[in-house]
Amino acid sequence: MTRVHDMGGRFGDGPVKVDPETAPVFKHDWHARALAVTLAAGALGQWSLDASRHSRERLSPRDYMRFSYFEKWIAALADMLVENGVVSRDELAAGEARAAAPHDLRARRLEAAAVDPALRRGGPAARPGPAPRFAPGDRVRLRRARHAEIPGGHTRLPGYAGGQAATVLRCHGAHVFPDSNAHGLGEAPQPLYTVVLRAADLWLAPEHPDDEVTLDAFEPYLEALS
Partner 1 sequence: MQHDHHDHDHAHAVLPPDPALRVRALETILTQKGLVDPAALDEIIDTYAHRVGPQEGARVVARAWADPAFRAALLDDAGPVLDDMGLTGRQGEHVTVVENTPERHNVIVCTLCSCYPWPLLGIPPAWYKSDEYRARVVREPRRVLAEFGLELPAEQAVRVWDSTAEMRYLVLPMRPAGTEGWNEADLARLVTRDSMVGTGRPRAADEVSAP
Interactions with partner 1, residue window 34-73 (CB under 8 A): 34-37, 39-41, 44, 51, 53-54, 56, 58-60, 63, 68-71
- Cβ burial, residue 29 (10 Å; 0-12/13-18/19+): exposed
Return the residue of 111, 128, 135, 137 that touches partner 1, per CB under 8 A.
Answer: 111
CB of residue 223 to partner 1, shortest distance in Å: 18
User: Residue type for 43, please?
Assistant: A
Dmax (CA) for the chain in angstroms is 62
What part of residues 121-180 is at the interface with partner 1 (CB under 8 A)? Answer: 121-126, 150-152, 156-158, 160, 170, 172, 175-176, 178
CB of 40 to partner 1, least distance (A): 5
Query: Quick one: angle between helices 29-42 and 49-57, nearest 10?
Result: 130
Q: Binder to partner 1 among 25, 45, 135, 226 (CB under 8 A)?
A: 25
Q: Under the criterion CB under 8 A, does residue 89 sit at the interface with partner 1?
A: yes
Would you count residue 187 as binding partner 1 (CB under 8 A)? no
Distance between alpha carbon 100 and the CA centroid of its chain, in Å?
A: 31
* Torsion (CA) 182, 75, 69, 13 in degrees, nearest 10: 80
Residue 224 pairs in a beta bridge with 140
Q: Closer to partner 1 by CB, 188 or 213: give it.
A: 213
